[in-house]
Chain A
Amino acid sequence: MRKSKALLFEMSRTGREGYSLPTCDVPMQPLDRLIPKTLQRSEPLELPELTEVEIIRHYTELSTRNFGVDTGFYPLGSCTMKYNPKVNEETAVLPGFSFIHPCQSEETVQGALELLYNMELSLKELTGMDRFTLQPAAGAHGELTGLMVIQAYHRHRGDHKRNRVLIPLSAHGTNPATVSMAGYDVIQIPCDDRGLVDLKALQAAVDDTTSALMLTNPSTLGLFEEDIIAIAKAVHDAGGLLYYDGANMNAIMGYTRPGDMGFDVVHLNIHKTLATPHGGGGPGGGPVGVRERLAPFLPVPLVDKQGDNFCFNYDLPNSIGKVHSFYGNFGVVIKAYTYLRMMGAEGLKQASSDAVLNANYLMNLLKKTYFLPYDRPCKHEFVLSARPEKKKGAGAGDIAKALLDRGFHPPTVYFPLIVEEALMIEPTDTESRETLDAFSRAMEEIAKDIDQDAGKVANGPYNTVVGRLDEVRAARTPILRWRKE
């Protein structure tokens, strides 16, 4: 049944309290003596007044209006919405991790430093890189950090004319946005008819103004860039560096490594590949790994081991500085570390193997019904085009809404941009064949529904707590906060 949910503010009743505090046991001084009247708040503080009972019921109801990996299949392409193991949630909240202050002396946080150190060791091996910083708090933050390191490297060599970063057209939106944020110009490299980076176009585009190429491999089409050796050579010969966007690392663990492919800088999305939950939009983690020659430019501090002790290393005179107030999302790193320790080398490789098998299986089921523009073995994800369905009256976005009615989270839609009406599907390693079969059947039903009554599909969803929401209205007349009437 459809209904709106009252806001906290609408539930508020004057006089309700949802907290308890100890009585203040120090001698109280008059407020005005501690803070002059002129510096005190004069406007009343308008926050809702609720008891704990109402708060927990409010959020419990909100949670029933939300879909997570624990609710069901979540094949959101390039987001690697795999299962988030519960043990990770337990380890991250151990008091010895949760309740430590970032400015504590090294001898009081040896366990935390050891964890960071171990994590770096594992990430180096997983990616073939020489040093890591765990400071970036998300993938895009890692991208920015990586580009800053590349920039510092070129500048340090007195190479100041490298003001352009090359990006394939299939790249995530964060790549070009990051390039701009780092003060670079974006040069787009087209894809060829295989869906891969157009090598000739790349070779023509690289020159002594090329700072780096940012590449996701496998690409957002789920295709491995087979020409990676030639790509790396073209960029390196021109004096540029190779940046690996790790969003799709879940496809290749144990099969190949960015370092072995020739990449100089890597970021991983530990909230994707290493199974930490995405939290409704974060916190994530975007560790950045680099080859030896770039290590001097990483953010401070690095974590080192001296004898049996672990310590922070701030002695990096050429470091770019810091990208986070402290050491990044430590709490998320704990979860990823726990995952790595649970999986081991064999488990990680099996995860990538199953992720790729699941994607190819589902692709083969779905290509009977839907148009697959790049029909070749994929890695962890694949992209369908709903162009034929769009012509009938219901496009990728409508198919997404129809999936909501069938209890599935939809794929990523309208991305990558090089495929019209794109449906980008990433089943991940943690889904069963039954789930993939059920999803495939749902997609077939939707295709039939479109044939019969595309208009009905275009007006969905029908079984959700609210109907299709008017995004145009939200943007044209923005209501971005509640206000008292």
Chain B
Amino acid sequence: MGGKHYLPLTDEDRRVMLDTIGVESVEDLFNDIPAEVRLRRDLDLPPALAESEALAHLNDLASKNKNYCSCVSFMGAGVYDHFIPSVIRHVTGRSEFYTSYTPYQAEISQGILQAIFEYQTMICQLTGMDVANASMYDGGTAVAEGAIMGCGATRRSKVLVSRSVSPFYRDVLRNYFNSRGLVLEEIPLKDGCTDRENLDKMLDDNVATVVLQQPNFFGMVENMSGIADMVHGHKATLLISVDPLSLPLLQSPAEYGADIVVGEGQALGVPASFGGPLLGIMAARDRFVRQMPGRIAGETSDSEGNRGYVLTLQTREQHIRREKAASNICSNEALVALAASVYLAALGPKGMREVAEQCLQKAAYAREKITALDNYKLAFPGINFKEFAVIVPGDPADLNRKLLEKNILGGVSITPFYPELENAMLFAVTEKRSREEIDILVRELEGWS
């Protein structure tokens, strides 16, 4: 039988326990399941494997995937190949952390509670916001729940989202809104950024939240000056989805007047893992805290005055407020938030700035080299952080197949999301890419055109 080594009861134990209970067999404990719904056969599942066999099977599956170890990756679109310092896995691998539940019992959960408090602080330091929660599932759900939070705060039900926001996030947002009967309108693009004139026209006193992304899906840094005034003129809230790794260089959302900041935190020391687990970041100005979804850790003390941490403001949450809760979120991505905290602590202000600058410089180098090639052109002129959209001379899938022969995971095709952009690809260049790797990519692109 499989899993014996996880099941401590011996046959002798079972016999003694049944005696104590006063029943003949374990079957008697299942008598309350009506006969009509009992499963009268064995589950038809693959046979149990020994640990060595399970490892071999999983190794076999894993080896069928091209990955960052066997290939050089230029893929981005929200999930990036940044370097992950070794120290992170050694912290998240502490089983006192990873085998614990949500810290309801504060006195024996001070470790994770303090780590969450520190995470909240560092997210505030990055974004310039006053308060952050303990995490959301991912960037997409953080955008959706942030937009809903704006609706709650303004008691309005219309949200404007820029088409320069990740199409992956907009899909999630649309879905959450459809279900709830909220109204979602898309702000058109202009030169790869949010069309400000259109935004101005679309804004009215029914708009709860305006959702923008910085840098946007095309990796472009949008000019945010004056946007907050426009939005606040209608008493709406400004929500910005950020790449946290851009914030050491770029204006913090607080500086240009954002009310709510969300984002995908995967760049902060988290493996891509085929797109999950990821890390939904959520932060806001103080006045939104009572509408904020999810767990929040707060400082307090015991009767002797020792400082400690608890989950707080729980009257927002589902287990207290039930149908009146700000959200239904219960489990979040606590361990991923812990990884991000270790990353931020390890990099510090100087390292964060260096990583961001290397991304910027290397992406700029790659952009220049690629767009200097015949038949390759930048989809949109402007300012890019660590990725950029290129119109390539042919089908992006063909190009990626060719690049794969050289062990390169090429760009992400974005034409499916923007049909008006034919043969458009997004290339991301992180601090991990060397000049040589970029030059090889450029050479391969040149050979293909």
Contacts and interface: CB of A to CB of B under 8 A. Distances in A.
A66 B109 contact: yes
Interface in A161-211: 172-174, 176-183, 186
A475 B358 contact: no
A306 interface: no
Interface in A15-67: 16-19, 21-22, 24-29, 31, 34-36, 38-50, 52, 55-56, 58-60, 62-67
B225 to A, nearest CB: 7
B342 A347 contact: no
A268 to B, nearest CB: 13
Contacts of B342: 55, 59
B445 to A, nearest CB: 17
B3 A59 contact: no
Contacts of B132: 480-481
A261 B34 CA distance: 9
Most buried by B among A76, A186, A256, A379: A256
B33 A49 contact: no
Interface stretch (B202-210, B230-238, B308-316, B372-380): B308-316
B318 A173 contact: yes
A318 interface: no
Given A343-B48, A465-B107, A327 B255 contact: no
Contact of A19 (B60, B120, B324, B351): B351
Contact of A278 (B48, B99, B249, B251): B99
Contacts of A24: 357-358, 361-362
Interface in A303-336: 320-332, 334
B117 to A, nearest CB: 7
A459 B360 CA distance: 56
B348 A49 contact: yes
Nearest to B74: A101
Interface string B240-251: 000000011111
B247 A432 contact: no
A401 B344 contact: no
B3 to A, nearest CB: 4
Given A41-B249, A126-B43, A60 B94 contact: yes
A461 to B, nearest CB: 5
A348 B6 CA distance: 11
Given A325-B172, A467-B107, A114 B365 contact: no
A44 B125 CA distance: 9
Interface in B351-401: 351-355, 357-358, 360-362, 364-365, 383, 397, 400-401
Interface string A345-385: 11111110110111011001100000000001101000000
Contact of B351 (A21, A34, A337): A21
Given A59-B342, A104-B409, A254-B39, A327 B275 contact: yes
A279 interface: yes
Given A377-B29, A430-B8, A470-B300, A4 B307 contact: yes
Interface centre among B33, B176, B328, B345 (most CB of A within 10 A): B328
Contacts of A64: 96, 111
Nearest to A50: B345
B199 interface: no
Nearest to B5: A85
B147 interface: no
Contact of B21 (A26, A361, A471): A361
B101 A325 contact: no
B331 A67 contact: no
A204 B318 CA distance: 27
A183 B180 contact: yes
Nearest to A163: B181
B34 A260 contact: no
Interface in A380-416: 400-401, 404, 409-410, 412, 415
Contacts of A174: 318-319, 328, 330
B3 A344 contact: yes
Contact of B299 (A49, A465, A474): A474
Contacts of B330: 138-140, 173-174
B255 A321 contact: no
Contacts of A481: 117, 120-121, 124, 130-132
What class of interface size applies to chain B in its complex with A? 35 or more
Nearest to A9: B121
A256 B36 CA distance: 10
Given A325-B264, A466-B308, A461 B275 contact: no
A161 to B, nearest CB: 14
Given A97-B273, A229-B34, A68 B137 contact: no
A55 B346 CA distance: 7
Nearest to A483: B121
Contacts of B335: 277, 279-283
Given A44-B349, A55-B346, A137-B138, A280 B102 contact: yes
B221 interface: yes
> Which of A67, A71, A262 has the most CB atoms of chain B within a 10 A radius of its CB?
A67
A8 B9 contact: no
Interface string B201-219: 0000000000000000000
A281 B102 contact: yes
B277 A283 contact: yes
B43 A50 contact: no
Contact of A97 (B250, B274, B347, B351): B274
A345 B96 contact: no
Nearest to B1: A346
Contacts of A357: 9, 14, 17-18, 21, 26, 29
A175 B48 CA distance: 34
Contacts of B91: 55-56, 59, 63
B54 interface: yes
A254 B43 contact: yes
Name the residue in A101, A180, A229, A255 with the highest tally of chain B Cβ atoms < 10 Å from its Cβ: A101
A104 B365 contact: no
Interface in A71-90: 71, 74, 76, 79, 81-85, 87, 89-90
B20 to A, nearest CB: 6
B33 A87 contact: no
A65 B105 CA distance: 12
B111 A63 contact: yes
B14 to A, nearest CB: 6
Contacts of B110: 5, 62, 65-66, 465-466
Given A105-B397, A138-B332, 9 more contacts: A4-B306, A26-B365, A55-B342, A112-B274, A277-B95, A283-B332, A321-B174, A324-B172, A480-B298
26 contacts: A18-B348, A41-B252, A47-B344, A47-B349, A47-B352, A49-B350, A62-B110, A70-B99, A97-B273, A97-B274, A109-B66, A112-B61, A126-B45, A176-B325, A260-B38, A278-B101, A279-B334, A282-B333, A325-B275, A331-B273, A340-B45, A342-B2, A348-B45, A358-B17, A469-B302, A469-B308
Q: 3 closest pairs, A vs B, by CB?
A: A326-B275, A344-B48, A96-B62
